[in-house]
Amino acid sequence: MSEIAIELKNITKRFGSVVANENVSISVAKGEILSILGENGSGKTTLMNMLSGIYFPDEGQIFVDGKLALIKSPKDAFDYKIGMIHQHFKLVDVLTVTENIILGLKEKGKYNINKSAKKVEEICQSFGFKIDPMKKIYEMSVSEKQTVEILKVIYRGAEILILDEPTAVLTPSESEQLFVILRKMKDAGKAIIIITHKMHEVLSLSDRVVVLRKGQYIGTVATSSATELSLTEMMVGQAISLNIERSEPVDPKTRLLVNNVSVTNREGVKILKNVSFKAKSGEILGIAGIAGSGQKELLESIAGLRVLKTGSIIYRNPKDNSEEDLRDKSPLQIRNLGVRLSFVPEDRLGMGLVGAMGITDNMMLRSYKSGQGFFLKRKSPRNLADKIIQDLEISTPSTETPVRKLSGGNVQKVLVGREIAASPTVLMAAYPVRGLDINSSYTIYNLLNKQKESGAAVIFVGEDLDVLIELCDRIIVLCGGTISGIVDGRTATKENIGSMMSTAAILGVEH
């Protein structure tokens, strides 16, 4: 193996009584791509934040080029030629690529934008980026913005690149382009660390894989000798089966008729454009699309949280087939119509749960108004809380512990548990497994499947195409606020859905 670029020795980091990283030792060589794999909460991001100067380790040392390095601030990290590409871009929209890149840099000599632009162009050529240095950020696509972030750290002379879940916002083909770039940088002798939880990316891209589990260092394996199953078992710590059972829909009937719905945001920009589809009882309808294609707005419109510009949302009551238009109705009015609509929103603690309250009080959110009188009745919510804790194996010190203090997976189980407890006829779930470990994810898939079998119309917004294809009966692909296709989950392929996710699909042109 070639020269070691960066080495971490026995790193430990605690937050209060929580151990985020314990005794983690890893190293990356120049010209190597290292994946860090682990479930959410396993300490991947904490570890990388110590490299980029956001946290300081409690114990252990970091060596850069064989010399002890103390990284106390992001500036120190930059001095050690460590560049981090965050999941959320840190770019100024109204500035050009070059302006963004040199922003905050103290270069010697006079400020000369043309000279800088030339340097940017040279970097672009040597790595094969296709970017105009004078283009403004707001005119760019998500993947172009990400390229700018990468350009930024290279321009600043980074030799060690850290990418935190870079493909979460990309379509499959954009991810492929990113990988081409990363391989080129690898050939140029840079050390690359990539954090991800997508197994196929790990296998196709990296040279070695480090696996973390609950803050502990589990091991490093050469990618060539690893398989998806062996890595998953390292991550989870036990043998598991990765199958989702998909039953045939029984007697599907139209439950929800979304017709020609358009929604604008505060600035008057259309977020949803003429969206029409049907959700049927006894089936899972998937919604695919890169992040921010209108998924959130679509579900919120159905739930009565958005004002529609045009269109209607017709609910067909299973009892008597009577129809109700849910347009312009508040969540309370919808519930009072007898529509059992459950909604698991994307931002669990910001919408859906109250972080400062315990599980009991969160169970009460849906039911506190029922019954006469001035006072709250905590008895049945408390029983429900106990039942959900037991059924979904939620680990919490008590039913009164604020849910904010629970782990992401447990928070999600509390929310999904409550929404399912209302025995919904329509169940909408936005990214219900985001941030969950594999076991919890499969628990959630099973719960969704059970709802489907008991006749609910399930709408599932997902980001992992493999899961969508395995779980859903039909899949709607959203792209830029319009439906670019509706496919059958049993026959669809990833490539097929992926191509519909990209803008080219709507414009009808190839890039």
Partner 1 sequence: MIEKAVKEPLIRISKKNDTPLVSAIITRVFAVAIGLIICGIVVMLITGGKTSFFGVFEEMFKGAFGTLRKFKLTLREMTALLCIGLALVPAFKMKFWNIGGEGQALMGVLASIAVLKIFPDMPNEMLLLTMFVASVVAGAIWALIPAFFRAFWNTNETLFTLMMNYVAFQLMAFFIVLWESSPGIHVIKPFTIGYLPQLFGVEYGWNIVIVFSLTIVMFVFMKYSKQGYEISVVGESENTAKYIGINVKAVILKTMAISGGLCGLAGFLLVAGSNHTMNTSLVGGFGFTAIIVAWLAKLNPFYMILTAFYVVFLGIGTDQIASSFNLNDYASDAIIGIALFLVLGCEFFINYKITFRKKSNRKEVG
Q: Which residues would be at the binding site for partner 1 (CB under 8 A)?
A: 15-18, 56, 64, 67-70, 72, 79-80, 303-305, 330-335, 343, 345, 347, 349-357, 361, 364-366, 368-369, 374-376, 405
Residue among 134 and 357 whose Cβ is closer to partner 1: 357
Q: Which is nearer to partner 1, 111 or 374 (CB)?
A: 374
Residues linked to residue 32 through DSSP beta bridges, in sequence order: 191
Residue type present at position 275: V
Residue 125, token pair as written in the block: 């050529």
Determine the Cα angle at 38 with ends 34 and 39, to 5°: 155
Q: Kindly tell me which of 129 and 343 has the beta carbon lying closer to partner 1.
A: 343
As beta bridge partners, residue 259 has 312
Q: Angle at the Cα of 198 (from 445 to 29), degrees rounded to 5?
A: 155
Q: Which is nearer to partner 1, 303 or 465 (CB)?
A: 303
Q: DSSP states of 276-300 as a string?
A: EEEEETTSEEEEE-STTSSHHHHHH
Spatial distance between the Cα atoms of 229 and 220, rounded to a whole number of angstroms: 15
User: Rounded CA gap, 440 and 436, in Å?
Assistant: 6
> What minimum distance in Å lies between the beta carbon of 322 and partner 1?
21
3-state secondary structure of 451: helix
Query: Three-class SS of residue 272?
Result: strand
Nearer to partner 1, 92 or 356 (CB): 356
Shortest separation between residue 406's beta carbon and partner 1, angstroms: 12
Which residues partner with 56 through β-bridges?
Answer: none
Give the span between the Cα atoms of 36 and 40, in whole angstroms. Answer: 12
Of 250, 249, 251, 217, whose CA–CA distance to 235 is shortest?
Answer: 217
Q: Which residues pair with 287 in a beta bridge?
A: 461, 476
Dist. CA 170–CA 291, nearest whole Å: 8
Distance CA 478, CA 171 (A): 12
Identity of the residue, 244 or 351, whose beta carbon is nearer to partner 1 in the bound complex: 351
CB of 73: closest distance to partner 1 in angstroms?
A: 10
Rank residues 9 and 184 by Cβ distance to partner 1 and give the closer one: 9
Query: In the bound complex, what is the minimum distance in angstroms from residue 376's beta carbon to partner 1?
Result: 6
| Strand pairing report for 254-264 and 310-316 | antiparallel
CB of 328 or CB of 495, closer to partner 1: 328
Nearer of residues 29 and 82 to partner 1, judged by Cβ: 82
Question: Least distance from C-beta 335 to partner 1, angstroms?
Answer: 6
Closest approach, Cβ 327 to partner 1, in A, equals 16
Given a contact cutoff of 8 angstroms between Cβ atoms, the answer to whether 310 and 394 are in contact is no
C-alpha distances (whole Å) from 53 to each of 47, 56, 87, 90, 107 are 10, 7, 16, 16, 22
Tokens 């009991």 -> residue? 360
Q: Closest separation between CB of residue 304 and partner 1, Å?
A: 8
Spatial separation of the C-alpha atoms in residues 131 and 139, rounded to whole Å? 12
Tell me the three-class secondary structure of 220-259, residue by residue.
Answer: EEEHHHCCHHHHHHHHHCCCCCCCCCCCCCCCCCEEEEEE
Q: Of 248 and 267, which CB lies nearer to partner 1 in the complex structure?
A: 267
Parallel/antiparallel/unpaired status of strands 32-37 and 18-29: unpaired
Burial label for 236, CB within 10 Å (0-12, 13-18, 19+), is middle
Structure tokens at 511: 């890039």
In the complex, least distance from residue 191 CB atom to partner 1, rounded to whole angstroms: 17
Closest distance between partner 1 and the C-beta of residue 192, in Å? 21
> With respect to partner 1, which residue has the nearer C-beta, 58 or 144?
58
**Which helix or strand (DSSP H or E) is residue 261 part of?**
strand 254-264
CB of 80 to partner 1, least distance (A): 7
Q: Which is nearer to partner 1, 71 or 210 (CB)?
A: 71
Q: What are the structure tokens assigned to 491, written together?
A: 């026959």
Question: Closer to partner 1 at the Cβ: 244 or 357?
Answer: 357
Q: Whole-number minimum distance, CB 378 to partner 1, in Å?
A: 8
Q: Do residues 277 and 476 make contact, with C-beta atoms less than 8 angstroms apart?
A: yes
